Amino acid sequence: MEYIFTQDELQEIARHVAKYPEKKSAVMPALWIAQEKFGWLSNEAIKLVATTLELPYAHVYGVASFYTMYFKKEVPKHLIEICTCFSCGEMKGKELLDFTKEHLGCNAQGFSADGKIWARAAECLGACDTGPVCQISNRRYRHKLTEDKLKDIIEKLRNDEELPYERIPLYDQTPIED
């Protein structure tokens, strides 16, 4: 595989660089662009980002290895991260993660039997008021999870369907009964 950015990708990186006083501040979006292109961040992909931003490899690798959203090994195409922290955990987040892994037939790494989906626990996703919650492929959230919602998500991911953003009301408008 050849590790190069297209002109469009280089222009997108340049737009990010222009936002900051120093190039190194654009390392996260550049890593994101590389991961989107290659599926994960191999040493070659990290070197490409370092070269593109004229930064030391160690700096770029340090950023990539610090954050869990950057994958340093080859992983399935889709990721379902279910929050199991306190609020979501109290609302059955751990049980929903177990259900998801069982439904997918996951191996010890959380990779589905068909190799298309990865399921893992997430630290707080910051949506405690609409938990239990999951994040799909570092992008879309799904709130107020149920087993049926997870089955629907899994079916769509297996078919490589794009999941739209989920719109939820900020506040439940239901009147409180005395």
Task: Please give the chain's pLDDT, 178 residues, in tens.
Answer: 899 999 999 999 999 999 999 999 999 999 999 999 999 999 999 999 999 999 999 999 999 999 988 999 999 999 999 999 999 999 999 999 999 999 999 999 999 999 999 999 998 999 998 999 999 988 899 999 999 999 999 999 999 998 888 776 665 555 556 5
Q: Do the Cβ atoms of 91 and 132 come closer than 8 Å? A: yes
Contact between residue 87 and residue 128 where contact means Cβ atoms under 8 Å apart: yes
Tell whether 177 is covered by a domain: no
CATH code of the domain in which 99 resides: 3.40.30.10
Same domain, 85 and 124: yes
Range of the domain at 44: 7-66
Q: Tell me, yes or no, whether 82 and 60 share the same domain.
A: no
- 85 and 148 housed in the same domain: yes
Return d(Cα 169, Cα 38) in angstroms, integer.
Answer: 36
What is the model's pTM? 0.80
Check whether residue 37 and residue 108 sit in a common domain: no
CA distance 112 to 119: 8
